[in-house]
Structure 1
Amino acid sequence: MELKRMQTEEYIAHVRESAGEDSQAYHDLPKIITQGDKARPGYSKVLQPNYTEFHNSKVPPRISDWKFCGSFPSPLKSNPYQTNLGGAFVSDNETVLSDIVSHAKISTISREFMRAGPREFLAFHPDSVKAAVVTCGGLCPGLNSVVREIYASLTKLYGAKNVFGIPMGFRGFYSTEFHIKELTDQSVEY
Structure 2
Amino acid sequence: MMKKTRSRVSLIQGPQAKGSLGKKVASRHNLVELGGLQGQKRGTLRKNLSRNFDEKSLQSSSLSKSYKTLQRRESKIAKDFFMMAKPIIDQPKHLLDFIDFDFENPPAIYESPLLGDNFQKGILGGSKFIPVDSFMPDDAFVIASKEHRTIKDIATSLKFLKGGPRKEIFFNPDEVKVAIVTCGGLCPGLNVVIREIVMSLWFNYEVRDIYGIKWGYKGFYTDVEKNWLPLKPAVVSDIHKDGGTFLGSSRGGFDGDKIINVLLEKGISQVYVVGGDGTHRGINQLSKMAEERGVSIAFAGIPKTIDNDIPLIDSSFGFATSCEVAAEMIQSAYIEATGVINGIGLIKLMGRHSGYIAMQASLAHGGVDFCLIPENPYELNGPNGLYQQIYERVREQGHAVVVVAEGAEDGLINPEEKFTKAAQ
Q: Which category of TM-score, normalised to the shorter sequence, fits these structures?
A: 0.5 to 0.7
- Asked whether the equivalents of residues 148 and 189 of structure 1 are also in contact (C-alpha less than 8 Å), the reply is yes
Provide the residue aligned with 1:48 in structure 2. Answer: 83
- Match of 2:146, as an amino acid? I
Provide the residue aligned with 1:171 in structure 2. Answer: 218
Which ranges of structure 1 fall in alignment gaps of 5 or more residues?
A: 1-44
CA RMSD of aligned residues (A): 3.0
Provide the residue aligned with 1:144 in structure 2. Answer: 191
Find the aligned partners of 1:140 and 1:167 in 2 and give their Cα distance: 16
- Asked whether the equivalents of residues 83 and 152 of structure 2 are also in contact (C-alpha less than 8 Å), the reply is no
Counting helix residues as a fraction of each chain, which structure ranks higher?
2
Find the aligned partners of 1:91 and 1:106 in 2 and give their Cα distance: 23
Provide the residue aligned with 2:112 in structure 1. Answer: 74
- Match of 1:48, as an amino acid? M
- Match of 1:149, as an amino acid? E
Provide the residue aligned with 2:140 in structure 1. Answer: 94
CA displacement at 1:54 relative to structure 2: 4.0
- Asked whether the equivalents of residues 83 and 151 of structure 2 are also in contact (C-alpha less than 8 Å), the reply is no
Provide the residue aligned with 1:187 in structure 2. Answer: 235
- Asked whether the equivalents of residues 130 and 162 of structure 1 are also in contact (C-alpha less than 8 Å), the reply is yes
Provide the residue aligned with 2:178 in structure 1. Answer: 131
- Kindly report which structure 2 residues correspond to 1:27-46, keeping only aligned pairs within 5 A, or say none: none
- Asked whether the equivalents of residues 64 and 70 of structure 1 are also in contact (C-alpha less than 8 Å), the reply is no
- Match of 1:97, as an amino acid? I
TM-score norm. by structure 1 comes to 0.63
- Asked whether the equivalents of residues 89 and 120 of structure 1 are also in contact (C-alpha less than 8 Å), the reply is yes
Which structure ranks higher in relative contact order (CA pairs < 8 Å, sequence separation ≥ 6)?
Answer: 1
How many residue pairs get aligned? The number is: 142
Which ranges of structure 2 fall in alignment gaps of 5 or more residues?
A: 1-78, 123-127, 239-424
In terms of Rg, which structure is larger?
A: 2
Find the aligned partners of 1:91 and 1:151 in 2 and give their Cα distance: 24
- Asked whether the equivalents of residues 63 and 69 of structure 1 are also in contact (C-alpha less than 8 Å), the reply is no
Find the aligned partners of 1:154 and 1:181 in 2 and give their Cα distance: 16
TM-score norm. by structure 2 comes to 0.30
Find the aligned partners of 2:168 and 2:132 in 1 and give their Cα distance: 17
Q: Is the counterpart of residue 157 in structure 1 residue 204 in structure 2?
A: yes
Q: Is the counterpart of residue 112 in structure 1 residue 150 in structure 2?
A: no
| Structure 1 residues 1-41: Cα deviation after superposition (integer angstroms, max 9, x where no partner) | xxxxxxxxxxxxxxxxxxxxxxxxxxxxxxxxxxxxxxxxx
Seen in structure 2, the aligned counterparts of structure 1 residues 49 and 156 have a Cα distance that, compared at 3 Å, is farther
Find the aligned partners of 1:150 and 1:106 in 2 and give their Cα distance: 38
3-state SS of paired residue (1:77): coil
Find the aligned partners of 1:49 and 1:166 in 2 and give their Cα distance: 46
Residue range with higher mean Cα deviation, 177-186 or 127-136: 177-186
- Percentage identity across aligned positions? 34
- Match of 1:181, as an amino acid? L
Find the aligned partners of 1:163 and 1:122 in 2 and give their Cα distance: 18
- Asked whether the equivalents of residues 64 and 71 of structure 1 are also in contact (C-alpha less than 8 Å), the reply is no
Give structure 1 regions of 4+ aligned residues with deviation exceeding 4 angstroms.
82-87
Q: Is the counterpart of residue 122 in structure 1 residue 169 in structure 2?
A: yes
3-state SS of paired residue (2:114): helix
Find the aligned partners of 2:84 and 2:214 in 1 and give their Cα distance: 44
| Structure 1 residues 117-172: Cα deviation after superposition (integer angstroms, max 9, x where no partner) | 21111111101000111111222112111111110000000000111101111111
Provide the residue aligned with 1:16 in structure 2. Answer: none
Find the aligned partners of 2:112 and 2:167 in 1 and give their Cα distance: 5
3-state SS of paired residue (1:134): strand
CA displacement at 1:86 relative to structure 2: 10
